[in-house]
Structure formats: structure tokens, C-alpha cells
A and B are shown apart, each in its own frame.
Chain A
Amino acid sequence: MSAVTSPRPFSEPSPLARRLAAVVVVLYAAVAILPLAWIGATAFKSQADAIAYPPKIFFTPTLEGFVDLFTVQTHQSHDFIAKLPPPQTWYEKIARDRDMVIAGPSRVVERFLNSLIIGFGSTILATFLGTLAAYGFSRFRVPLADDLLFFILSTRMMPPIAVAVPIYMMYRWLGLYDTRIGMILLYTAVNVSLAVWLLKGFIDEIPREYEEAALVDGYTRLQAFRKVVLPQAVTGIAATAIFCLIFSWNEYAFNLLLTSSDAQTMPPFIPFIIGEGGQNWPAVAAATTLFLLPIVIFTIALRKHLLRGITFGAVRK
């Protein structure tokens, strides 16, 4: 991303061409970002505003969507609500204003927790295994290394929907169906291929001389790996970990087919956030916004490594 801008005395674009390019690119960016902006805006709309006809661009922001997302509410008569003691919290007040009484927390917190546990669990495992394997492939002469690496990458190409059938049967048989540990293992297996390829690229870039010097100084291979190679590879490991985390966080198909409740993560859950009489769009938008926000931040943090990540380390600049 941060290409060195070398002076281009001959084919330097003219100021006019540059300005035109800027206009078109900014226009595209604005159009492309519009759906995301609409999600963010809908999260702060009231239900009536969210399904207004024609759609509303200007509206009074409210936190109704977030309250609906995190709580279970029951509809009560106006008289019943008038008899209740005054609301204790701001979110109870929001509910009461619409003749609703909060009955308890919703299941979304569990789903978010599942997303976090499965996401981080599989990321840590995949990055750990991937670092070891990448070091193995990078530094030692492994028989059939190219074939093994191809095999590792090809597992990533397997469509989840196609492997889901036998994995479903295997998981039922092993008691891993709808368990967090089952999902962690599965996501680790999918991510480890990316981790090996990315990290092999990063470790290949660390000069061998560093380790050789350490070996001469009396370090064992393992000590040299831990104290010389790992600290050098920290950036690469972090970037790889973020890529793994994004995959696990976003994954939908496996989770849809291999869980039913206990290990369900956010993506299969969000479409089923239903309010009274149809989909509660502000609540869906609130969930979507909270779900997408970390990825937006990670994307900005990762922008220098994105290219590497999406090409399995083949394109580096």
C-alpha cells in the first residue's frame, strides 16, 4: 500500500488527469460506502422510521434498536404501565415509552460471546500451529515440501458447504456438534492453511544468518527459534492472527449447519432477530453495526498487509 512514490519525470500524470481520477474514485467510494452508512443510520432509527415509506434520510436518533437487541420485552397495556413504579434505567424508559416492559436480557450476549470465544480460540490455535509449520517449511529441507504446501492450500479452497455433510456426520458421532470446541477445531483447520502460507512468507524474509549466529553462540535450534526468529516475526504473526480472526468472525456456512444454539455465533443469528410483526430492522442494524465495527477497525490497522493476506503471501508490496 505504501508504495514509494518515485519521481516520474516522463509519465507524470497531468494535474487535470489527477483531479479527474480523484473525482471518479471518491464518487465510487461514496457509492460503495452508502449501504454501510445506511446500516449505521438504521441502527439509530425508531422502528417506524426504519420502515418509513419513502425511506428517511433525516430522522431523530434513538437507541431503541440497541435496547431491543439486548433485551426481551413484552407488550403491555397503557394502564398497566402507568401503574408500574417509574423506570429505573434509561433503557427501561425507552421501552416504556413504547408500552413495552423489559422481561430480561436477550440471547444476543451469548451469541456475541460465542463469536469472541470461537474467534479468539481458533485464531490462537491456528496462529500457533501455523507458526511452527511455517518455520518448519521455511528452514528445513522437508521431503515433498511443495506437495505438502499445495495440499495445505488446497484445503482452504474446499467449499464449506461441500465438506459440511461428512463433518456434520463426524461431529454428531464424536459429540462435537453444536459445541464451541468443535467450531474452534474446525475454524483452526480452515485458518491454519492461510497461517502457514502467510507466515512462511514472513519467516522466509528473516535472514538465516541471525539464527546461525545464535547457533554458533550455543543456542539450541528451539532456543534460536524462540529468542531470535519469533521476535523478528512478531509483525507477521500479528497480521496473520488478525486475518484468522476476521475469517472466524465472519464465517457463516459451517456455523449455520453445525450448530443449533449453544455454539451459534453472530452471523447465523443476526437474520433471526425478529420483533413484533416482522423483522425488527433497527435491532438487526444495531447488531450488524456492532458486529462489523471491529472488522472496520482491523481493516484500517491491517491495510499495509491486506494484499499479502488476500493472496496467501504471494503478492507482497
Chain B
Amino acid sequence: MNGTNATPTLVERMAIRTTAPAARRVRGLSDRSIAWLFILPTMALLLAINIFPLMWAIRLSFTGLMANLPAPARFIGIDNYVDILTDEDVWAAFQATAHFVFWTIALQVLIGLGLALLINQKFRGHSFWTTVILLPMMLSPAVVGNFWTLLFQPQIGPFNYVVSFFTGVAPSSFTMIGSVALAPWTIVLVNTWMWTPYVMLICLAGLRSIPDYIYEAAEVDRASPLRQFWSITLPMVLPFLMLAVLFQAIQSFVMFDMVNLLTSGGPGSTTETVSITLKRAAFEKWETGYASALAVILFVTIFGAANVYVRALNWVKQQ
């Protein structure tokens, strides 16, 4: 096109420049095709390993299939859903889960926010201790949960002795895992130990996002420290706290690893959370259709919660 221009003028050079996108399209792939080329493999993988099984589960949930039997799937309509929603054991599982979620969240928020406020005093060595406190949350809940069974052994485990040291109760007089009264609190305790750092870390980020001048203005106005906490600190940290709570709520709602290894739902079914019920139905009783229906109910719940979570993420991001 411009091959005849031996010595291009400034205007012509600018003109060549502006055609760059066209030239690029000739030399390499177009932006549009690169965008799709880059995104499609990920989408394809997610479709194959998430969406396809999801669709399959929805289909199975209307059948009476038992995966360990050769009999073909028989369509039974919404019977599975009716069974689940009228099954007292399922409601008991939802109640056990609600107890678990409510108390771990309450404790995590209380301890996590408290620790974040203290760490934000920026004493010497605070970042070292922060890292130490963070450790439990990064570890495998299954592997750690398994080890907690030793810690909770009434006679050979150290936990009962620590309790005994502070309360005077005989160390062999109670079992954290085997007792109907204590087991629901045991899983709350271990989960709180594990995930409080999560809430703490996010609260810490919230605290650090508060500009100093707000406190300075409050000092000028002679606002008491308590007043400052209620009117400045708490409202400013709240979006971060909400984010942490939402994520932890989802996480503990579907918690499986730790509970399965610590109590496996027992004693009896006192700590049988929804995921444990689902696992028992699917992989022990082999009621595939029934389990799929329960899974679909879980999906819908989680999908709704995830929707709220993403909105919260975007909202926090904009703050």
C-alpha cells in the first residue's frame, strides 16, 4: 500500500500508525479470536466437570436409581423431593447443620474481630504472631480433624486434662466425641479453631482500610473510644465482616471433611450434618436418585448464597 513512499511525510507516518490494528490482525490472531481461544478451554472444562454432572444429577433426582444395582433408572417424578422434605431425619440433619453454622459463625466473629482489633494495636512482633495464628486455616481439615480424635481421647488425650486443669472436672469423666450432649459442640470448637483466622484476617484488612484522619477528627470532637468504636470502626469494618461471614456460612454449611473424620455424624446422628446425610445416602445406602435430589436442594441453596456472596465481593471491592 505504501510501498511507493520512499520518504514518508510526518502525516503519512501517522497514517501508517493508525492502521496498526488492521496490520496486527493480518500478522497475528484477531483480538476477538484470542479472547475466545483463551477463555474457551476453561469454560469447556467447567462445563464438562461441573455443569454436565449437575444436569445429570438433576435428571437422576427424578429417578429411583440405585447405582450399585444393574436395574436401569426408573422415572418416579418428584417422589424423591417429597421424601426428603417430609423425612424427619433430613430435617434433623438441617437442624444439626444450622446449630453448627450458627455457633461457629458467632464464635468466629467474636474471636476473629476481637483478635483483629488487638493485632491492629501494632505491638512489636504483631506480624509474626498473625502468621502463627493463621496456620490452622491453611491445613487440611481432614488430616487435622483426624488428629483431633487423639486430642479428644478422654484418658490419653491432652484436651480433657487442659479442661480439668481449669475447671477441676475429672479428665476421664467426659468424652467430647462420644457424648450426645458434647459432640455437637466439639465440631463447633474444632471448626472455630480452624476458621477464626479467616475472619480475623479479613477484619484486619477492614481495620487497615480506615483512614487515620477519621479518628483524628473524632479526637478533635472529643468522641470517647467507645463512641469511636461504634460510630467509626464497626461501620467501616462491617462490609469486610459480612464478606467473611457469608463465605464461612457457605463453607460450614457444606462442611464434610472435618465432621466425617471427627465424629462421622455420631454418636447416633447427633452431628449428622447435611453433607454427612448426603454421603450416607449416596455411598453407603446407594440411594442414588434420592441423594441426587438432596444434592439438587443443596445446589439451589448454595447457588443463592453464592449469588449474594459475589454481590458482596463486588460491593466490598468498590468501597
A residues contacting B by CB (< 8 A) are: 1-3, 5-6, 8-11, 13, 17-19, 21-22, 24-26, 28-29, 32-36, 38-39, 42, 50-55, 129-130, 132-133, 135-137, 139-142, 148, 150-155, 157-170, 185-186, 188-189, 192-193, 196, 215-216, 220-223, 246, 249-253, 256-257, 266-268, 270-271, 279, 281, 284-285, 288, 291-292, 295-296, 298-300, 303, 306-307, 310-312, 314-315, 317
Which residue in B147, B212, B283, B314 is a CB contact (below 8 Å) of A35? B147
Given A9-B216, A29-B133, A163-B57: A288 touches B143 (CB 8 Å cut-off): yes
Chain A facing B: main interface SS = helix
User: Are the CB atoms of B313 and A129 closer together than 8 Å?
Assistant: no
Q: Report the Cα distance A161→B137, complex, angstroms.
A: 20
Residues of A near B48 (CB, < 8 A) are 189
A-contacting residues, B131-189, CB 8 Å: 131-144, 146-148, 150-151, 155-158, 161, 171
Residues of A near B269 (CB, < 8 A) are none
Residues of B near A270 (CB, < 8 A) are 142-143, 146
User: Are the CB atoms of B129 and A38 closer together than 8 Å?
Assistant: no
User: Are the CB atoms of A38 and B50 closer together than 8 Å?
Assistant: no
User: Are the CB atoms of B133 and A3 closer together than 8 Å?
Assistant: no
Residues of B near A151 (CB, < 8 A) are 46
User: Are the CB atoms of B141 and A250 closer together than 8 Å?
Assistant: yes
Closest-CB distance, B252 to chain A (whole angstroms): 11
B: number of interface residues (CB 8 Å): 113
Can you show 18 pairs from A to B with CB atoms below 8 A apart?
A10-B220, A13-B121, A32-B136, A142-B35, A153-B310, A161-B275, A162-B294, A162-B295, A163-B50, A163-B54, A166-B60, A169-B288, A220-B28, A267-B142, A270-B146, A298-B138, A300-B131, A306-B201
Which residue in B45, B208, B254, B298 is a CB contact (below 8 Å) of A192? B45
Closest-CB distance, A196 to chain B (whole angstroms): 6
Q: Report the Cα distance A240→B78, complex, angstroms.
A: 43
Closest-CB distance, B142 to chain A (whole angstroms): 3
Q: Report the Cα distance A232→B174, complex, angstroms.
A: 57
